[in-house]
Amino acid sequence: MAVQVRERTLDEIKKKLVEMNTDLNKITYIESALKETGFSFEIKRFLWGELAKHYVGRKMFEKAARAQANKASMEITMRDKMESYILSAEYFAKVGKIDICEDMFVRAGRDVTGEQNARVKLARRNIYFACAKELEDTGKRASAVKFYEKLMKMELDGLERAMIKDKLIKTYNALGLFREAKMLDGS
């Protein structure tokens, strides 16, 4: 359902969004506004960011991730672009779309320098740890395995690597993947 968007400035759009009551109404309005032509990049960036925020409010993480990625592609500074791609990757990770999540991390680290690249790697590690733990706590071991396997391929210190290896072996055994557990164990 499309809504007619009469507002033309950022302030008018913000005022209209404040007047609306529910996230779903705001989502419908923002989606309609994004289809309009003639808006500046500043307004489009704001709309994509707001759309992602309201999708997260409704726990629609895949749509939020796509909206955040669109916002990232319109960002001006490399730092904002990096942060938007990291946020998009986090939302994709929550949905379990690990391949697209990896792509977002690659995009986040593409144009940044050493210190910011280290930040992207740290964010990737932390997001994977958090998602794996959350999935394991909710009993979704098979989904957690994907994140643990990605973590094993990353540069980690010895203690973290040993902890992940141990969790991965236990999870493989719990899932009946004895051959994978034996290969990882090295016996």
Residue 169's nearest CA partner among 156, 157, 187 is 187
| pLDDT, average across residues 88-114 | 91
pTM reported for the whole predicted model: 0.88
pLDDT, tens only, 110-150: 878 888 899 999 999 999 999 999 998 888 888 899 999 99
